[in-house]
Amino acid sequence: MRTTKQAAIGFIFVTLLIDVMGWGLIIPVMADLIAELKGIPVNIASTYGALLLSSFAITQFLFSPLVGNLSDRFGRRPILLISLLGFAIDYLILAWAPTYGWLFAGRIIAGITGASFTTASSYIADISTDETTRAKNFGLIGAAFGLGFVLGPALGGLLATWGLRAPFYAAAVLCLLNFLFGLLLLPESLPKSSRRAFDWRRANPLGSLRFLMEHKEIGGLAISFFLIYLGAQAVQGSWNFFTIYQFDWSEGMIGISLAVVGVLTGLVQGGLTRILNPKIGNEKSIYLGLSLYALGLILFAFATEGWMMFVFLVPYCLGGICGPSLQSLIAGHVESSQQGELQGALTSLMSLTTIVGPLIMNNAFSYFTTPQAPFHFPGIHFLIGAVCMLGGLWIVRRILTREKLAVV
């Protein structure tokens, strides 16, 4: 049984790795592609990049609960395979897009089928036996994300020398290979005895969010979860636009920087989390991680040279130790038959942050780089992100302190 579970974790890790590589491939060229299609400077193009991210997130918000509930009904494997095929179609549309409007079509398709991380999280919860094991296994998701961002952006920056569209074709090929890999090798994690009937009332996004509020502890921790991912949008939504504007980085340099992010994230969530979490526990991991996230964002905001961004990535990426611990705490409050519903709800929360986050962060960056701004401050969105992290820290500390008092 142990060997089977280890093999299953390996399968899901490789599946997510290839999936993330596909997305990482296109990040270095997206800013310049949008600017080219719209015929505008890159700092103004960041607002259009935010709209693309938000359109993807809106469809994910609407469909993630549906996908999560479908995986509770039919199993994780078929839903994951449909997701991978949808991403391949998305990248082909992006590769062929003659206008900015076509980019929306591709992003909407990806948002509808974008169930890979929702279903993968449910898969991990299915095969994890206790809280510590869950935290370690959820850390592997972060490790796949990190390693994918080592290989994807570096390769994307290299492929960009052949044209802005080349990385999209490569991403489509990777997703198709990913689909074939899952079709041939990925086993099902949810036995038929643990499946439940599909219920439309539980598959809508508002019903999914209500699920988080059924238990007071889950609802409060979910708010902290929301703030963490909202703060992260300061980096995820505008890194390429900010570094091109502020430091005149090329696609290749953006790819290198994101590869560094991937190395650090992989080391933290695939290595450090698995060592540190059992020693200090979920609570201290969350506190330490959120503090480091906030520190990294504040340092980004005041960086004056490009090399500083690489140095400041260290504390920021070390903050990644908080994510698996918080997710493990939340997952520990529900039964195995509800993990798909829970992970779908959490993905909906993440999608909400990607709806509002880029609109807040990218527009703040764009506005404070224009003559209309009261002062010039390109890094202001990083400070907004730091405030979100500190807010999440305050909330989770209050909740965990209350839980301890209730036990006593």
Helix (H) or strand (E) run with residue 356 in it? helix 339-367
Distance CA 121, CA 138 (A): 7
Are the C-beta atoms of residues 93 and 105 closer than 8 Å to each other?
yes
Q: What percent of the chain has pLDDT over 70?
A: 84
Q: pTM for this structure?
A: 0.74
Are the C-beta atoms of residues 32 and 251 closer than 8 Å to each other?
yes
Residues in the chain: 408
Mean of all residue pLDDT scores within the chain: 82
**Distances from the Cα of 282 to the Cα of 52, 102, 170, 315, 340, angstroms:** 35, 44, 38, 19, 22
Are the C-beta atoms of residues 143 and 266 closer than 8 Å to each other?
yes
Q: Give pLDDT, residue 60.
A: 75
The pLDDT confidence band at residue 132, using thresholds 50, 70 and 90, is low
Q: What percent of the chain has pLDDT over 90?
A: 24
Average pLDDT over residues 314-321: 92
The pLDDT confidence band at residue 337, using thresholds 50, 70 and 90, is low
Average pLDDT over residues 336-352: 73
Q: Give per-residue pLDDT as tens, 350-392.
A: 778 888 999 999 999 999 999 999 999 999 999 999 999 999 9
- Percentage helix, strand, coil, to 5, in the chain? 85, 0, 15
Q: Give the residue, 87 or 142, on which the prediction is more confident.
A: 87
Task: Say which DSSP state 1 is in.
Answer: -
Helices 239-247 and 2-38, interaxial angle, to 10°?
A: 50
Minimum mean pLDDT range among 189-193, 218-222, 319-323:
189-193
